[in-house]
Amino acid sequence: MSNGDKTILIVEDDKFLAKMLGRNLESHHYQVVQAINGKEGLVKASQGNIDLILLDIMLPDIDGFDLLETIKNDEKTKRIPVIIISNLGQPEDIQQGKSLGAKDYLVKSDLSLDQVVEKVRKNLPQ
């Protein structure tokens, strides 16, 4: 199975960052779907066909932690691995994200695009 069969949903309200992440993942042959807020992210996640979600915590409508909890409590979406990408880098934020079911937690200030691709690759279901 090639990367092109895998679809990554990016839920991120920072359009510049979302575009950079999307382009980078597409250059590694992933399909990319974008959502600029939590409601849109939830709709796109539950439409099926999403293999992994990159989720920001600070969203304009729904808190990312609440969104993660909703995703993990829904039959249709609970199996989708979620990687949090956030400016919130405190240990308690990371702990909260992981306790709610996130596979990984990346802090934006420490982020490299290669790192994101590596984490995506590592956490995608085979």
Query: What pLDDT does residue 3 have?
Result: 76
For 50-70, write each residue's pLDDT tens digit.
Answer: 999 999 999 999 999 999 999
> How far apart (Å, rounded) are the C-alpha atoms in residues 30 and 110?
23
Question: Percent of the chain having pLDDT more than 70?
Answer: 98
- Spell out the domains of the chain, with CATH numbers in brackets: 3-120 (3.40.50.2300)
pLDDT of 118 above 70: yes
For 78-113, write each residue's pLDDT tens digit.
Answer: 999 999 999 999 999 999 999 999 999 999 988 899
pTM of the model: 0.95
